[in-house]
Structure 1
């Protein structure tokens, strides 16, 4: 995941109301903000709504940035505070647990599944969707630590600052999240453990029957370059906890919808 990087002179110009600089600030932050929202919320529309709200906050609070931290840290802090405190988003949290998810994965497995049209594309979407859904099984504090620490690979000191906790507290959260993810994937994911009851091919018929996976609709995997088989080989080439790391690393970065930045600069720049 590319870091948020915006030159200080651009930030300074944006704070002075320069429209082009404001657009550059949005361009530099939008994909990373959206990627964070997608990983934390998973739902496409929830993430879109959150991204727009967070970018509005970045613009309206821009005058308060004093350079006491990196600009990227400041943006992520705003994003995390919004994701933690937005009651309308918290109300939509499905309350998923690893136990519930494991039971769901075992429901409707097909021992000898027929090959579907566009099999590799469908399996890739199922793999990606399932991997993202696993994050919802983590409590929000652990989910944030896991996304910032292992998926975005931020420096632990920066991640602790973003979450407004001590480095020791961040490391404890990250360790707990890693342990939970590793334990679940080692027991339930066929890509990580070939002896696990669930595998993507066996799961695909039920996922399609329920409408969770649809032919020619790949919202979670469509931006990725890796095929299902390539990811399977990559996960198979590493050992132990690295398998779950590779599983999550293979989820593509989700770019911010093109229209959000343009809408925001049109609406907000005259009033900043």
Structure 2
């Protein structure tokens, strides 16, 4: 069954067709939400809300783009207009983040004996910090950056998602890229080795401040790969920031699919 036939079947009440459509996009939507909202629990809630909208608005899809592009559009519209979640309520700015990085750098020693645990803690610090950088962008810039530099959508797809011209999308993406690169060049040791900040020096501070729970990490799934990071360090500056973000895990979405379908069934 091709995409158009599956969509038509889903609109006509075929549950298996609907499940197949949702299964094809839910991981992408969850990963977008994680990068927009920082905390996985908030991302899970937002993903549920987005999937409900996709299911209930499916009959409005007219096939002027791919189903995935349309799903991105629904997701982005929701994430641009949703209430502020816990991490956004901190109103992060690049200036405030720079001040914290200048002030709170611990010694490069961690209170763990396991090499695996050490790598996981460093990876948790890295991902959490880079996710926080995204929160310093305006929502429109953040969404453009995540879709363009992390997920790699084209200018035409970006224009369709945001319902703007390709030139306007490129301008929005360029502005977001420049802000991320400027900050990384000034403060991030992964991007610019001349900077004193190292992920390992942020772990202890983040544990003390409650941002990292060694027993329940939010982001890290495996330790950082030193070979990969060394390769990224040799890249041109234009490519380096996006490449660093693409080292983050692609997360499997929580098992929200059946809950969402049941929710819609009960509502009907």
Structure 1-normalised TM-score? 0.90
Residue in structure 2 matched with residue 58 of structure 1 by the alignment: 54
Q: In structure 2, what is the Cα distance between the partners aligned to 1:242 and 1:20?
A: 41
Choose the corresponding residue for 1:246, options 236, 243, 253. 243
- Counterpart-to-counterpart distance in 2, 1:89 and 1:127: 21
- Asked if 1 retains the 8 angstrom alpha-carbon contact of 2:190 and 2:198, the reply is yes
Question: Which has the larger displacement, 117-126 or 209-218?
Answer: 209-218
Q: Return 5+ residue gaps in structure 1 as ranges.
A: 1-5
Deviates more, 1:231-240 or 1:201-210: 231-240
**2:121–2:220 contact (8 Å) kept in structure 1:** no
How many residue pairs are counted as aligned between the two chains? Answer: 264
Match in the other structure for 2:261:
265
Say whether the 8 Å CA contact 1:157–1:167 is kept in structure 2.
yes
Structure 1 residue 60 displacement after superposition: 0.5
Could you give the per-residue CA deviations for residues 90-119 of structure 1, whole angstroms, max 9, x where no partner exists? 995432111111111222212453563421
- The match for 1:26 among 22, 35, 44 is 22
In structure 2, stretches of 5+ residues that fail to align are none
Provide the rounded CA distance (Å) in 1 between the counterparts of 2:58 and 2:267. 12
- Does the aligned pair in 2 maintain the 1:73–1:158 contact within 8 Å? yes
* Residue range with higher mean Cα deviation, 27-36 or 225-234: 225-234
Structure 2: distance between partners of 1:114 and 1:123:
9
Correspondence for 2:174: 175
Instruction: Say which is worse superposed, 83-92 or 22-31, in terms of deviation.
Output: 83-92
Determine if the alignment matches structure 1 residue 101 to structure 2 residue 97: yes
CA distance in 1 between counterparts of 2:203 and 2:87 reads 29
Q: Quick one: distance in 2 between partners of 1:33 and 1:211? A: 27
TM-score (norm 2): 0.91
Q: Determine the C-alpha separation between the residues in 2 that align with 1:263 and 1:35.
A: 19
What is the deviation of 1:62?
A: 0.9
